[in-house]
Amino acid sequence: MSLKTAAPAAPVQRLRKPSWKDPRLLLGLLLVLGSVAGVTALMSSQDQTTQVWTAGRDLPVGTQLQTADFQVVSVRLGDAAGAYLRADEPLPENTVAGGLIRKGELIARADLSTADRLDRKPFGLDVETPLPSGIKPGDRIDVWASMPDGRNGYGEPRRLLEAAEISEISVSESVIAGSDSTRLLVLVEDPDLPGLLGALSNQAKIAVVPNPSAG
């Protein structure tokens, strides 16, 4: 009976420690570092804030703007930061509000203008009849005028302005008559000025009617 010789056992392969020169290890390390850097940059950009101006009070159209009217806030604006006036920027000289800026709103560069560039100019009207409840700057009104008829009365009213925007409202009490009168600043285009000035110079009675459908 013959004996079979056992086959020699295969040599055991030992795992080698990775070397710093292994390109796969270097590539993996670079990917990890790049990922960490990207996340850090993203979180940093999202956490960046910009100090900008906001209106400390309502600023009607045509108001001469000054930094005393503003307050500083820190906000995250991202790509829109360039559209607003930063708190570290000087306010240009002779700047007026080009549109109604309400209290608390950010001061957008588009809101800045100069008096000679305004296509509508504030015009003062004194109204003796009470205004409807709730009317405020920014609302639209129709302005009517009744001319004196020469017989201690007034003629039929005619509309001088349609859908004029109110810029500012103030109420004062007459010491003599004891009655309240309302001073309105309405935004008027140049072609409408002669009619208004003619009515006021002829002591017309002015009345306003809300025009909620406009705006």
Annotate 137-152 with three-state secondary structure.
CCCEEEEEEECECCCC
| pLDDT, the chain, mean | 80
Compute the average pLDDT of residues 103-125.
Answer: 89
Determine the Cα–Cα distance for residues 111 and 199; give it in Å rounded to an integer.
32
- Reported as a pLDDT band with limits 50, 70 and 90, residue 17 is low
In this structure, which amino acid lies at residue 109? R
Share of the chain above pLDDT 90, in %: 27
Which pLDDT score is estimated for 41? 57
Q: Which residues contact residue 163 at a Cβ distance below 8 angstroms, ignoring those fewer than 6 apart?
A: 140, 141, 142, 211, 214, 215
Residues 24-41 have pLDDT tens digits of 666 666 777 776 666 555
pLDDT in tens, 185-204: 899 998 999 999 999 999 99
Q: Where in the chain is the domain with CATH 3.90.1210.10?
A: 50-116
Q: What pLDDT sits at residue 170? A: 84
- Average pLDDT for residues 57-65, to the nearest whole number? 89
Query: Residue 52's pLDDT band (boundaries 50, 70, 90)?
Result: very high
CATH of domain 50-116: 3.90.1210.10
Mean pLDDT (whole number) for 144-149: 90
Residue in 88, 76, 80 with CA at minimum distance from that of residue 47 = 76
Residue 120 has pLDDT above 50, yes or no: yes
Q: Which two tokens stand for residue 15?
A: 């795992």
Residue 176 pLDDT exceeds 70: no
- Supply the Cα-derived Rg of the chain in whole angstroms: 36
Q: Please report, rounded to a whole number, the percentage of residues in the chain having pLDDT higher than 70.
A: 74
Query: Is the pLDDT at 8 greater than 70, yes or no?
Result: no
Predicted confidence at residue 7, as pLDDT, reads: 54
73 or 171: which carries more pLDDT confidence? 73
Rounded distance, CA 124 to CA 170, Å? Answer: 11
Give the mean model confidence (pLDDT) for residues 116-120. 84
Confidence band, pLDDT 50/70/90 cuts, at residue 175: very low
The beta-strand segments (E) located in 56-137 are: 70-75, 96-97, 112-113, 121-127
Calpha distance 56→70 (Å, rounded): 5
| Single pTM value for the model | 0.60
Q: Is 53 helix (H, G, I), strand (E, B) or coil?
A: strand
